[in-house]
Amino acid sequence: MPCNPAIGGTAKGHLVREIDALGGLMARAIDATGIQFKLLNRSRGPAVWSPRAQADKGRYSAWVKAALEAEPNIHWIIGRAGRILLDGGRVSGLALEDGAVFPCGALVITTGTFLNGVIHVGQEQRPSGRAGEPPSRDLAESIKDLGMKWGRLKTGTPPRLARRSIDFEQGVKSGVFHVEHGDSEPIPFSFTATQSPMNTAVCHLLHTTDRVHQLVRSNIGASPLYNGQISGIGPRYCPSLEDKVMRFPDRERHQLFLEPEGLDVEEIYVNGFSMSLPVETQRELIHSLPGLESAEMLRPGYAVEYDFVQPTELRSSLETHRVAGLFFAGQINGTSGYEEAAGQGLLAGANAARSVLGRPPLVLGREEAYLGILVDDLVTKGCLEPYRMFTSRAEYRLLLRTDNADLRLTPRGREAGLVDDERWERYGRRRKRYDTNLDRIRKTWVRVEGGARVPAAQALKRPEVTLGSLVSAGDVVLETTPDDFALDTSSVETTVKYEGYLVRQEQAVARAQQAERRRIPEAFPFERVPGLSREMVQRFSETRPETLGQAQRIPGVTPAAVAVVGAYLNRF
């Protein structure tokens, strides 16, 4: 966990649940090592409920490393990647910078911010993929030699503070810090969890001041973001402090969170305070924050600029169009965040293995998963800025909830070879409980306000009635266990309460799937389609959509152009 000490959040929590449903490790890792758990957006509908957890960064890394080392078929090669080796247009191996060569049938590249990475702190620039670690130059040039369309992006990190130098008690007492607790009944991320996780840490909320904003404005000429030093584009939805102050001049204050990086770790992460100003300016800004007048800065924040490949270079399997057997995942594809990278890594890894075995790729639809939306957005639209997942990107978000990710995806994971026998048996029990409970809700009659007796399913459609209250009153008996109660009731209640909306979304999915079933061959000659403008031919040829539905989602493509391609498909 090289940057923020948290997993999940709005839409990102959906990704973690989906990774878990497919057999991935991330949810189990954070359940085992998290120190504070929250379910976000509880005041809104269940479609946007998203789990988030603070992590103990050291323990998280150690847990994942131990889990990987326990796998008998994983072998570690420690070295710096150099050149991608090809044979007849297909990847054949990887050469390390020290000259060692490793043949392979498929290769997954997940470079983070290391491709020609440069770190910026004020006027200081140094080649680095991350603080204290060298960039990857040979691999970056090897990828460019393949003819890939590429660009530069930017991300950043905030300064870290010494816990011992902050008087949290006085900050809370004086009202400048607000204590942020975890949920009283924390909910785990993993569908395999047998007990609730523990909340053992608190965070503290504070705000920037006019003094902070004045300091940023007076020093903005020293920021590499504003003096032309950085050419890469940064994330719009997670802006630096400089961007917050300069782009939103009317905002009197911005939220910041003091987040511990572990239970017994000295470093405090200042969430929302990412910057690349000079070190002394950063120190002055910290001391201008209420409650941090005496805080010690352990490490300054910085911006890191790096190469990425336009993800329109990829198929929906995350395999490159230009080189068979070569897969990309994570920030090399223009995304940001641990969760987006983990989801791509899981899919790219699975599809690399399946390609070697001669099996078709695992491709998830937009109606199946946020992971499907993530990949489809990347390969059809590309990236002008670091991509971040949001619930607003989902057309069918009521179908894609966190509570039903296992019901949606575990069968797909089993089919793809990602779900082991133990998890599959657990899923079978969960599916049986869900079907049984849904049937009981529809067949059980209960008394409602006014004395009338109605089916429990009808009663649940009333806003004030919850499944938990019906169970507590003894009106409904569910097939469940104490460990599974929260998940079982959530899935069934949402299915019943929102039945009308769910039916409409399922009908919309059925209509959309007609276009998704119309495959476009890899070698389809867009330039020979009568009636297509040169611009449309260029857009189709750059993205190479795999279905007619994907063609509809390419930015700038008109419905008329898609209709022309559809008509020509019948003759091709």
What does the pLDDT look like over 168-208, one tens digit per residue?
999 999 999 999 999 999 999 999 998 889 899 999 999 99
CB 199 within 8 A of CB 226: no
In angstroms, the CA 21 to CA 24 distance is 7
CB-side neighbour CA atoms (13 Å) of 262: 14
In angstroms, the CA 261 to CA 259 distance is 6
Domain boundaries, the chain: 420-505, 517-569
User: By three-state DSSP, how is residue 220 classified?
Assistant: helix
Task: Tell me, yes or no, if the two domains 420-505 and 517-569 fold the same way.
Answer: no
Type of residue found at 553: R
Sign (positive or negative) of CA dihedral 159, 163, 164, 165: positive
CA triple 190-192-194, angle to 5 deg: 105
pLDDT at 236: 75
User: Which listed CATH number (1.10.10.1800, 1.25.10.10, 3.30.420.40, 1.10.10.10) goes with 420-505?
Assistant: 1.10.10.1800
Own/partner contacts of 441-449, CB < 8 Å, gap of 24 or more, are 441/467, 441/476, 441/492, 441/496, 444/475, 444/476, 446/470, 446/475, 446/476, 447/475
CATH superfamily of 517-569: GidA associated domain, C-terminal subdomain (1.10.150.570)
Tokens 């785990």 correspond to 188
Burial class (CB in 10 A: 0-12, 13-18, 19+), 515: middle
CB 345 within 8 A of CB 337: no
DSSP per-residue codes, 10-53? TTHHHHHHHHHHTT-SHHHHHHHHEEEEEEETTTS-GGG-EEEE
Which H/E stretch holds residue 54? strand 50-55
Tens of pLDDT, residues 396-442:
999 999 999 999 999 999 999 999 999 999 999 999 999 999 999 99
Q: Which residues contact 46 (CB under 8 A, 6 or more apart)?
A: 398, 401, 403, 490, 494, 498
DSSP code of residue 493: H
Q: What is the Rg, in whole angstroms, of the alpha carbon atoms belonging to the chain?
A: 25
Tokens 């867009």 correspond to 526
CA dihedral 316→321→326→328, nearest 10 degrees, is -50
User: By three-state DSSP, how is residue 62 classified?
Assistant: helix
Hey, which residues does 1 pair with through a beta bridge?
none
Burial class (CB in 10 A: 0-12, 13-18, 19+), 431: middle
User: By three-state DSSP, how is residue 63 classified?
Assistant: helix
* Phi then psi dihedrals of residue 560, to 5 deg: -65, -40
Type of residue found at 168: F
pTM beyond 0.75, yes or no = yes
* Phi then psi dihedrals of residue 524, to 5 deg: -60, 130
pLDDT at 4: 94
User: By three-state DSSP, how is residue 553 classified?
Assistant: coil
The structure tokens listed for 159 are 């300064």
DSSP code of residue 257: E
In angstroms, the CA 527 to CA 533 distance is 9
Q: Which residues contact 275 (CB under 8 A, 6 or more apart)?
A: 156, 158, 159, 223, 240, 241, 242, 282, 285, 301, 303
CB 120 within 8 A of CB 301: no
Residues of the chain with pLDDT under 70: none
DSSP per-residue codes, 321-386? SSSBTEEE-GGGGTB-SHHHHHHHHHHHHHHHHHHHTT-------TTT-HHHHHHHHHHHH--SS-
CB 182 within 8 A of CB 199: yes
User: By three-state DSSP, how is residue 85 classified?
Assistant: strand
DSSP code of residue 79: S
CA distances from 525 to 89, 482, 540, 571 (A): 21, 59, 10, 12
Least Cα distance to 518 among 540, 557, 559, 548 occurs for 548
In angstroms, the CA 244 to CA 277 distance is 14
In 3-state terms, the chain is what percent helix, strand and coil (to 5)? 40, 20, 40
The structure tokens listed for 118 are 């440069």
